[in-house]
Structure 1
Amino acid sequence: MYIQLLTAAAEAPKSSFGFWEAMEEGGPVAWSILAVMVIMSVGSFYILFTKLFEQNKVMKQYKSVRTNFWRTNSLKEGATKLDKNSAWRQLVDDALIAEEKHAKLSDQMEAHDWMHGSLARSEHAIQAKLNGGLPFLATVGATAPFVGLLGTVIGIYRALINIGVAGSASIDKVAGPVGEALIMTAIGLLVAVPAVFAYNWLQSRNRKIFDMMSGFSTDLLANINSGGTIKPATMTATSTQTAGKAAAGRTVPGAKPAAGTTTTTTTTKR
């Protein structure tokens, strides 16, 4: 009797469960949904790294604007200090073109509005380029869970069909479709969550760049309207330390010295 039980257990069919088995259970529909998920994920990470590279490049170029551009005698000379394909060079070139054209306007208010509008159009063009690809991340973050939910629904539907055909909810009839359903749900979340994080992070960095461009455009407009006399104050670390030491060395009449400090007074003989 014992030998018969061992023989029956040895001859029992072995069921294997895993990712590939679950996908084979789903058939062409499951593989199609997986392919869509892979495309979404690859596209999201591609946009993340390319946009991150563009943003870092623009921010790095801004340091050159603060240190070299405003030290020149004119905007044309300063433009030569900037990279030809940089966003900041585009703003300067558009500002110079607008300056040449606004001299033909007789009304000063119209000339100011023309200059302001020209710089605004240039800013919007750069913003559109930096925002390129972000709608795809937003779409992936919004739709990937639902694509995974579609695979979940199909997997549960297959499990119910197997239960109905077999007449019993045995584990070997339900495990495959249910495993496929759970896998699709997990894949949908794994694709959506990084896309949402990437979208929000890139958007916050873009807003920071847009604020820099807005301030730079204002400085350009003020410089042009003042004939080159108005320039933003650019203080280096050395000048800041020098100014701090000079301020610390000054004494205010009537002010009491801080605790723990000594003051020296000098008398002049008349």
Structure 2
Amino acid sequence: MENNPYGIVALWYQGGWVIRFVAFVLLVMSVLSWAIIVIRLRRAWRLYGIAKQVSAFWNAPAFDKGLALLDTPPQGNAFHDLAIQGRHAAGHYTKNPEKLAKNIGFSEWLTENLRGAIDDSMARMQGGLTVLASIGATAPFVGLFGTVWGIYHALVAIGISGEASIDRIAGPVGESLVMTALGLAVAIPALLGYNALLRINRYFSAELNRFARQLYGWFLTGLPAGSGMRDDKEGN
């Protein structure tokens, strides 16, 4: 079987260490971006199922039993962590009123603790998005660098040989353009994954804030915020 003088294999062997390094960098970028996308989508799907259990949490006969319903899975459960943080903040204020009541009210204390729990959860959910955005922004330029270097290397080889026929120019230049295509192939999934995960995070941010408002109302009045409105609607 004759070796094909053109193609990616020929580009790999003829392009030198620079082309190989660029191809290796693009490969690492691609693997990293796909790993982040898959892991984050799996976690988002798991959180989506937990978000559907919030109504069961409020229908539970006791707070601890509601927590048990949210305690699946035990790790990475932002809703469970938020409820735990709210209960801990309320209990800490009740046990230390003389230290806290003089400087801050219970409502403000509870609000700040719930807000801090949401910020911590969102910070964990944002993990990897910066890497995706960076890959999406830089991968095309990395591929373009490989193309420019490949064209330069091809033109130097043509100049040394002294032959400038169309077949000797079109082949190496066309092979060099493959690096640009590889850069785009890495960047496009990274950007699409970044936008999708950003939209998913916005959804969960809204769900966590809604759950926090319900917890806020429950710790203050014994009823989740908005429960009266739902009761009125059901009565109508």
In 2, are the aligned partners of 1:75 and 1:92 still within 8 Å (CA)?
Answer: no
Give aligned-pair identity as a percent. 35
User: What is the aligned residue count?
Assistant: 226
CA distance change for structure 1 residues 27 and 235 in 2, over 3 Å: closer, same or farther? farther
Provide, for residues 45-85 of structure 1, a one-character-per-residue CA deviation record: whole Å limited to 9, x for no partner. 1111110010111110111111x110124433321221133
CA distance change for structure 1 residues 205 and 90 in 2, over 3 Å: closer, same or farther? same
CA distance change for structure 1 residues 45 and 15 in 2, over 3 Å: closer, same or farther? closer
Residue equivalent to 2:92:
101
Residue equivalent to 1:17:
6
Provide, for residues 202-253 of structure 1, a one-character-per-residue CA deviation record: whole Å limited to 9, x for no partner. 1001100000000100110111011x134544999xx9xxx6xx97xxxxxx
Provide, for residues 92-118 of structure 1, a one-character-per-residue CA deviation record: whole Å limited to 9, x for no partner. 000001001223232596321111111
Distance (whole Å) between structure 1 residues aligned to residue 228 and residue 188 of structure 2: 41
CA distance change for structure 1 residues 230 and 27 in 2, over 3 Å: closer, same or farther? closer
User: What is the Cα deviation at residue 139 of structure 1?
Assistant: 0.7
Distance (whole Å) between structure 2 residues aligned to residue 230 and residue 194 of structure 1: 41
Residue equivalent to 1:207:
202
Note the residue ranges of structure 1 that are not aligned, 5 or more in a row. 1-13, 248-270
In 2, are the aligned partners of 1:162 and 1:174 still within 8 Å (CA)?
Answer: no
Q: How does 1:56-135 map to 2 (within 5 A)?
A: 56-66=45-55, 68-83=56-71, 84-85=74-75, 86-103=77-94, 104=97, 105-107=100-102, 110-135=105-130
Bigger helix fraction: 2
Note the residue ranges of structure 2 that are not aligned, 5 or more in a row. none
CA distance change for structure 1 residues 151 and 118 in 2, over 3 Å: closer, same or farther? same
Residue equivalent to 2:19:
30
1:196 counterpart = 2:185: no
Distance (whole Å) between structure 2 residues aligned to residue 172 and residue 25 of structure 1: 16
CA distance change for structure 1 residues 180 and 235 in 2, over 3 Å: closer, same or farther? farther
Task: Give the residue type in structure 1 aligned to 2:223.
Answer: T
Residue equivalent to 1:250:
none
- Which of 138, 142, 147 is residue 133 of structure 2 equivalent to? 138
CA distance change for structure 1 residues 217 and 15 in 2, over 3 Å: closer, same or farther? closer
Distance (whole Å) between structure 2 residues aligned to residue 115 and residue 213 of structure 1: 15
Residue equivalent to 1:156:
151
> Aligned-residue CA RMSD in angstroms?
2.5
The structure having more radius of gyration, on CA atoms, is 1
Distance (whole Å) between structure 1 residues aligned to residue 43 and residue 84 of structure 2: 20
Task: Give the residue type in structure 2 aligned to 1:95.
Answer: G
User: What is the Cα deviation at residue 171 of structure 1?
Assistant: 3.7
Instruction: Find the residue that maps to 1:81 and give its secondary structure.
Output: helix
In 1, are the aligned partners of 2:4 and 2:10 still within 8 Å (CA)?
Answer: no
Q: How does 1:209-248 map to 2 (within 5 A)?
A: 209-226=204-221, 228-230=222-224, 232-233=226-227
Instruction: Find the residue that maps to 2:69 and give its secondary structure.
Output: coil
